[in-house]
Amino acid sequence: MTYVEGFVSAVPTANRKAYAEHAAEAAPLFKELGATRVVEAWGDEVPDGEVTDFKRAVQARDDETVAFGWFEFPSKEARDAFNEKMRSDSRMEALGESMPFDGQRMIFGGFSSIVDENAGGRGTYIDGYVVPVPSENKEAYREIADNAASVFKEYGATRVVEAWGDDVPDGEVTDYRRAVKANDDETVVYSFIEWPTKEARDVGMKQVMEDPRMQMDRDTMPFDGQRMIYGGFTSILDE
């Protein structure tokens, strides 16, 4: 199944155009080196949370917007080969020097998909999620996620991906584990739901939340929903 390199960044809001241009410049190189898809999305509805949220995950300031994106690969081996090529490609140094955001606060990691439901077509609006799940609950989480994916597609989502943490490094400033306050016995899950438009997402998400199949007892859920971080993002690049 699809292997995902997922990342979250804090970008000065005034640099939105520069960020989109930088992403557009980098995407052809990333695809040349082995990525099959490159997606960048700009924060649109990124709420503050009581325990965790995307803004705190990347220490975003008031004048910054959270960006959410990912690279796709056919396998972990393809992703590893991609990373090896990146380290030796001189063009990466130039891209790194021209980044219109603070790369030290970017969080990133490799995730192996456990659910990948595609209804056809790419979305222009994305709901992104990161959640800590007890490692022993992987199958229970996959079953719930698989059932939920069917409901999301029924109400208009074009694709639902749930990816299990595989290569999620600790960072010096920020990282995924700190973002969701993961315990030692938990694995970080990175997931996204694609919608045709924001309007379709608003209608579809309301229907999803009202559907009896999505009503779950918090005490029996195989993860701590209070530490899940989530937000809505507008696609600014999809190559």
> Domains (ranges, CATH) in the chain?
3-238 (3.30.70.100)
- Look at residue 102 in the predicted model and tell me its pLDDT: 96
Choose among 105, 10, 102: nearest CA to 62: 10
Query: What pTM does this model have?
Result: 0.96
* Tokens representing residue 40 in the block: 């960048």
Burial pattern 141-180, b for ≥16 Cβ within 10 A else e, equals: bbebbeebbebbbebbbbbbbbbbbbebeebeebbbbebb
What secondary structure, in 3-state letters, does 163-208 show? EEEEECCCCCCCCHHHHCCCCCCEEEEEEEEEECCHHHHHHHHHHH
Give per-residue pLDDT as tens, 142-188. 999 999 999 999 999 999 999 999 999 999 999 999 999 999 999 99
Give per-residue pLDDT as tens, 31-59. 999 999 999 999 999 999 999 999 999 99
Contact 234, 44 (CB under 8 A): yes
Confidence of residue 86 (pLDDT cuts 50, 70, 90): very high
Can you tell me whether residue 146 is helix, strand or coil? helix
Question: Using alpha carbons only, what angle is made at residue 13 by residues 205 and 71, rounded to the nearest 5 degrees?
Answer: 60
